[in-house]
């Protein structure tokens, strides 16, 4: 297969490949989502008008909208105005958003009797995709999950991400939002959140992440999650060195002169322990007097008697 693309200067829309290649969605749903994302902000169009202006009928359009809502690309909110009336607001996303009814990748087949299931059409058919692989520990029962099953305990399903993981994933989304080559889905951002948390624990913020992740990008990024995983791991600054005993000794300051000292209180100078003895002061005074006499004798000319008396 050879792909032929044209370079456009206007009238085009940039979409992430994860959206266009999301095989959980039908081709009708993906085409409808691409059409909605190409519209300007504030565009008003309901499902009936979409169906009336397309070859598909209302049933196909309604089913596509339910698919987009189930996987986090489409959401309709009912907002109450100040005058008491209600209005519906529609939100369309180019990356799936996690919500209470959102189906994440790897959630499995639709249950029997589901809204979008076709029991007559799918009866007796097996899925064409390979089954999800399990780890060797889970298959042999030697891991933690195997020990729980051996005791008769059922494994609890994984719950929603905690607040720390959500904040790290949101920060990663904000940092990479300005670069189309690094667009991430919600599940991919959550998978990279522990690496972002390591940066935050070492005191680095959004500016440091932006400089490490966005600088020097290649022209073509084949896998944004793999590239971000490599940079978050390889460019992680070293942990700060622990405070040594000598550094702790310099934490105190003199209460009188604010000089750094190794203990609480005042320094030796302020305490009077470093005072000069009286004999040293007398010697300094005699030295200063002798020096001044030599300077005066040198300024007034060569007088051997004065110089001899000063040196004596």
The string of pLDDT tens digits covering residues 243-285 is 555 555 456 788 778 778 777 888 877 877 777 777 777 888 8
Q: What is the pTM for the complete model shown? A: 0.32
Is the pLDDT confidence value at 85 over 60? Answer: yes
Local structure of residue 102 (DSSP, 8 states)? P
Same domain as 230, residue 269 = no
On the question of pLDDT at 138 being above 80, the answer is: no
Residue 185 and residue 223 in one domain: yes
Is the Cβ–Cβ distance between 149 and 141 less than 8 Å? yes
Q: 205 and 254: one domain?
A: no
Q: Does position 63 have pLDDT exceeding 70, yes or no?
A: yes
141 lies in a domain? no
**Cα 187 versus chain centre, distance:** 14
Contact 300, 294 (CB under 8 A): no
The gap between the terminal CA atoms of the chain, to the nearest Å, is 109
The dihedrals phi and psi of 224, each to the nearest 5 degrees, come to -65, -45
Does position 145 have pLDDT exceeding 70, yes or no? no
Domain of residue 303: give its range: 281-311
Residues 189 and 173 in one domain: yes
Within a domain: residue 256? Answer: yes
The verdict on residue 207 lying in a domain is: yes
Q: Is the dihedral of CA 201, 205, 206, 207 positive or negative?
A: negative
34-43, 64-73, 95-104, 206-215: least confidently modelled range: 95-104
Tell whether 17 and 68 lie within a shared domain.
yes
Backbone angles phi, psi at 252, to 5 degrees: -90, 155
**Same-domain status, 208 and 289:** no
In terms of domains, do 250 and 216 share one? no
> Which residue in this structure is represented by tokens 């791991």?
233
* Within-domain flag for 220: yes
Indicate the residue among 84, 104, 124 that finishes a domain: 104
pLDDT tens digits, 282-312: 888 888 898 888 888 888 876 556 556 656 6
Total domains in the chain come to 4
Could you tell me if 247 and 211 lie in one domain? no
């Amino acid at each position: 297969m050879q792909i032929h693309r044209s370079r456009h200067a206007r009238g085009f829309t940039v979409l992430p490949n994860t959206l266009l290649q999301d095989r959980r969605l039908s081709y009708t749903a993906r085409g409808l989502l691409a059409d909605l994302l190409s519209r300007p902000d504030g565009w008003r169009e309901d499902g009936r008008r979409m169906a009336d202006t397309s070859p598909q009928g209302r049933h196909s359009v309604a089913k596509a909208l339910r698919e987009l809502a189930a996987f986090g690309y489409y959401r309709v909110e009912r907002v109450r105005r100040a005058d008491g009336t209600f209005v519906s607001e529609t939100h369309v996303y180019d990356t799936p958003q996690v919500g209470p009814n959102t189906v994440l990748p790897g959630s499995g087949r639709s249950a029997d009797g589901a809204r979008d299931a076709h029991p007559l059409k799918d009866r007796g058919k097996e899925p064409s995709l390979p089954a999800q692989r399990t780890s060797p520990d889970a298959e042999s029962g030697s891991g933690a999950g195997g020990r729980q099953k051996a005791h008769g305990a059922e494994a609890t399903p994984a719950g929603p991400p905690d607040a720390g993981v959500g904040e790290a994933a949101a920060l990663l989304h904000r940092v990479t939002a300005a670069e189309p080559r690094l667009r991430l889905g919600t599940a991919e951002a959550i998978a990279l959140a522990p690496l972002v948390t390591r940066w935050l624990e070492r005191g680095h913020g959004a500016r440091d992440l932006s400089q490490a992740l966005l600088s020097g990008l290649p022209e073509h990024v084949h896998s944004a999650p793999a590239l971000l995983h490599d940079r978050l791991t390889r460019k992680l600054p070293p942990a700060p060195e622990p405070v040594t005993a000598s550094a702790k000794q310099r934490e105190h300051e003199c209460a009188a002169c604010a000089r750094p000292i190794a203990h609480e209180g005042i320094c030796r100078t302020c305490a009077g322990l470093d005072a000069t003895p009286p004999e040293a002061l007398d010697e300094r005074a005699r030295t200063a007097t002798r020096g001044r006499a030599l300077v005066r004798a040198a300024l007034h000319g060569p007088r051997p008697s004065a110089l001899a008396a000063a040196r004596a």
